Amino acid sequence: MQAHFIQAGDAIDHTPGSDVAAGDVVVQGDLVGIAKRDITAGELGALAVTGVFDVAKQAGGGVTFSTGDKAYWDDTNNVAVTTDGAGANKLLGKATANAADADDLVRIRLSQ
């Protein structure tokens, strides 16, 4: 056997080293997920890796999204951005709606 089915894959198991709040974006290497519920440090929880979420973005910094644009997660500033930052920012997904410079949220379809 070369593979054994574990789960559908819309969420992945995650045991955090520190508390994670519902809605937190969690980066593990190149894998990015969003906590749908609070997860206590050391306890098994789950991160969504598919779905559509409204995600924080920098407002007023010249960051805009058009539907279909790639969105990357800036884990230092905890916002979605339009560039990979020379590999520092991880692919989050694609915008499913336009977001203007003044907007503080962008709607993203998660994809890995």
Q: Tell me: the pLDDT tens digits for 35-72?
A: 999 999 999 999 999 999 999 998 888 999 999 999 99
Give me the pLDDT at residue 20, please.
98
Domain locations in the chain as residue ranges: 11-110
Per-residue pLDDT for 10 more than 90?
yes
Round to whole Å and give the CA distance between 90 and 30.
Answer: 6
Q: Are 32 and 91 in contact (CB under 8 A)?
A: yes
In the numeric block, the tokens 């997920």 are attached to 33
Distance CA 94, CA 109 (A): 5
Give the strands of the sheet with 52-56, arranged side by side.
52-56, 105-110, 90-95, 70-74, 79-81
Mean of per-residue pLDDT scores for the chain: 95
**Can you give the pLDDT at residue 98?**
98
Write down the pTM of the prediction.
0.92
**Rounded-to-integer distance, Cα 106 and Cα 111, Å:** 15
pLDDT value at residue 112: 75
